[in-house]
Amino acid sequence: MEIGPGLGTITLYASRIASRILAIELDHRLANIVKSIVPDNVLVIVGDGVSFARAIKSEILYSNTPYNISGRLIAMIARNNNIKYSLLGVQLELAKRIIANRGSKDYGRLTLLVERYFNARIATLIPRSYYYPKPKVSGAIIELSRKREWRDGDEIFEDILRCLFSNRNKKAYKIALKCLDNNVESSLSWLKEKRVKDLSLDDIEKLVEIINKPMLHTKEQVAKL
């Protein structure tokens, strides 16, 4: 599956090594251009690629991803266990967030989401000069290989990340108390010396275990925090 083929440059190269490609293009004018130049093993569909990524059965997904949908697309890929491998052209700043070290300014929800479900690496950098028109920022190609499947109830993991990292520089203990029911206070003593930005994936997993005993606030309540 290719999301956002644009003028079909990458699509043409990919069609030489893939037996079949499903290319999703939001702009119907670009879709018509791609249709006119690609071979028969490429099916071009007009639609929202992010929505397709949630349910597509393809094992491989690639995209020179529009920067404004990159984070949302990765979240959808995480939810689709059919997708085992992804190669994404993204904004360099987003790539840095994906592989950020704990405690750094780039470390956050996306870092932990990717770490939970994928082995990730920056395959190469893409200079601004490679694009036309030239963007203001450089890009990078991120490689994602699935290491864990999405399971029913994993929304709790996303909820706790969203709630915690809305206050990333504050003490994790205090923020966790806001995100969880107060009756789990005694289970959170190990957080007292940490700030949210310093929490590891193991820390978040431990919170998920605690949450699965008493119930997490509803999504509506979490959104208000």
- Both 210 and 100 in a single domain? no
In this structure, of 24-28, 130-134, 165-169, 201-205, the range with the lowest mean pLDDT score is 130-134
Length of the chain: 225
Please state, as a whole number, how many other Cβ atoms lie within 10 Å of the Cβ of residue 157.
Answer: 22
Per the prediction, the chain carries an average pLDDT of 91
- Both 11 and 83 in a single domain? yes
- Both 100 and 177 in a single domain? no
Q: Which of 146, 163, 186 is the last residue of a domain?
A: 146
- Both 130 and 62 in a single domain? yes
Spatial separation of the C-alpha atoms in residues 225 and 178, rounded to whole Å: 7
Residue 152 in this model has a pLDDT that exceeds 70? yes
Share of the chain above pLDDT 70, in %: 93
Predicted confidence at residue 182, as pLDDT, reads: 59
Q: What is the CATH number of the domain that holds 113?
A: 3.40.50.150
- Both 191 and 122 in a single domain? no
- Both 173 and 199 in a single domain? yes
**Would you say 88 and 142 are in contact if contact means Cβ atoms under 8 Å apart?**
yes
Domain that holds residue 214: 155-224
- Both 32 and 125 in a single domain? yes
Spatial separation of the C-alpha atoms in residues 150 and 163, rounded to whole Å: 20
- Both 95 and 24 in a single domain? yes
In the block, tokens 């969203």 appear at: 162
87 — phi, psi (to 5°)? Answer: -130, 115
Instruction: Mark out the alpha helices in the chain (DSSP H runs).
Output: 9-14, 28-37, 49-55, 70-79, 92-98, 109-117, 155-164, 172-179, 201-211, 219-224
* Higher pLDDT, residue 160 or 130: 160
pLDDT digits (tens, 9 = 90+) for 90-142: 999 999 999 999 999 999 999 999 999 999 999 999 999 887 788 888 999 99
Spatial separation of the C-alpha atoms in residues 120 and 153, rounded to whole Å: 23
How many distinct structural domains can be found in the chain? 2
Q: Which of 92, 123, 146 is the last residue of a domain?
A: 146
- Both 83 and 193 in a single domain? no
> What burial class does residue 159 get, using C-beta atoms within 10 Å of its C-beta: 0-12 exposed, 13-18 middle, 19+ buried?
buried
Residue 210 in this model has a pLDDT that exceeds 90? no
